[in-house]
Amino acid sequence: MPFDIYDLSTFTHWIDTSLRAGMSPFWAVFTEFVLVGVVFLAFYAVVGLFLVYAERRICAFMQCRLGPNRVGPGGIFQTIADLIKLLFKELIYIKNADKILFNIAPFIVIIASFLALAAIPFGKGLQAMDFNIGIFYVVAVSSIGVIGILLAGWSSNSKYSLIGALRSGAQIISYELSVGLSLIVIVILAGTMQLSEIVEMQRDGWFIFTGHLPAVIAFIIFMIASTAEINRGPFDLAEAESELTAGFHTEYSGIKFAFFFLAEYMNMFIVASIAATVFWGGWMPLHIGSWEGFNHAMDFIPPFIWYLGKTAVIIYLIMLFKWTFPRLRIDQLLTLEWKYLLPVNLFNVLLMAFIVLKGWHF
């Protein structure tokens, strides 16, 4: 296989063996943990800052504006300047706020998004933890974030925050169902929950092509439900700028606000990664049937680029949703989930199970 030249598992194995040769297994694992942690921390910061910049630029173009263009070439350092500004800002403490919960909340939100990163395959052999229940892990971990949001709203001692948090609670808990079920459709098709294997199975064709109609429906539902789950427009009821000013993070300032902000963008990145991995083949190049030359040419594009490209397209779609649609109302939001997405989803699971049983998929 030509794309094995980009296989990074030999490299990671080499690090592992050389570490284990030098020290006891405990310290070797510990060092690996620290290494991975540092790499992810850097990755997290870079991607988060870049996404904030990208969103501001993309929405500016959609709105016939230029967007940030002052700091650095094309305004690329704008978010870094913003971050520095936020770092210097005063952390305002609210009278009668529950101090402990108030301070913990942003960390819970950011840790939840941080944990989910661990299971995502960025390239061949480039995955921190290859769980055999990868999908389940991501879904489980990313739903911890809602606790942070609820705590933030509750502890702020502000009525706007509380309404925002309660909306967010109702919203995320309902949409978790749809996210899970649409992923189950693919799990049925793949027969595994291990993300690396799911990617591997899409070698000859991405699931969105091989899975017939159910996979397409599952993809659409996943996009809708995950947009709702990361609290982005048109489902940004928890923040709802025009109704609740800023919802659950109204009372936060400085770097704590930045945590919420960064976590929102990283959640978007994670959701896009999962969608790309599960439906669009992750880092797998695009292969079309028996077009040998085409397939071969595709293989020479590194997997990491494939992965980033697919993620970027999905992120663009999510941004497009936000900047086009009006916001839904809370009851409509729940109607959409319980009366539309969930029945369609359940039917879809049944359909996919039937197709797989009959062996009609490719």
Is residue 265 a contact point for other proteins (CB under 8 A)? no
Quick one: 232 or 256, whose CB is closer to other proteins? 232
Residues 6, 24: Cα–Cα separation, whole Å: 30
Q: Name the helix (H) or strand (E) containing 107.
A: helix 99-117
Residue 77 token pair: 């350092």
Quick one: 161 or 273, whose CB is closer to other proteins? 161
Angle at 125 between CA 120 and CA 128, to 5 degrees: 45
Residues 226, 180: Cα–Cα separation, whole Å: 10
Polymer length in residues for the chain: 362
Interface residue with other proteins, options 332, 347, 350, 362 (CB under 8 A): 332
Cα dihedral 54, 57, 59, 62 in deg (nearest 10): -130
Is residue 59 a contact point for other proteins (CB under 8 A)? yes
Residue 293 token pair: 């030359």
Quick one: 136 or 321, whose CB is closer to other proteins? 321
Stretch that binds other proteins, among 2-10, 133-141, 239-247, 285-293 (CB under 8 A): 239-247
Nearest approach, Cβ of residue 345 and other proteins (Å): 13
Is residue 331 a contact point for other proteins (CB under 8 A)? yes
Quick one: 62 or 81, whose CB is closer to other proteins? 62
Is residue 327 a contact point for other proteins (CB under 8 A)? yes
Sign of CA dihedral 343, 268, 314, 280: negative
Is residue 96 a contact point for other proteins (CB under 8 A)? no
Q: Name the helix (H) or strand (E) containing 44.
A: helix 25-62
Interface residue with other proteins, options 115, 190, 193, 240 (CB under 8 A): 240
Judge whether 323 and 233 are in contact, CB under 8 Å.
Answer: yes
Interface residue with other proteins, options 61, 291, 338, 347 (CB under 8 A): 61
Is residue 216 a contact point for other proteins (CB under 8 A)? no
Residues 254, 272: Cα–Cα separation, whole Å: 27
Is residue 330 a contact point for other proteins (CB under 8 A)? yes
Binding interface with other proteins (CB under 8 A): 58-59, 61-66, 69, 159-160, 163, 167, 233-234, 236-237, 240-245, 320-332, 340, 344
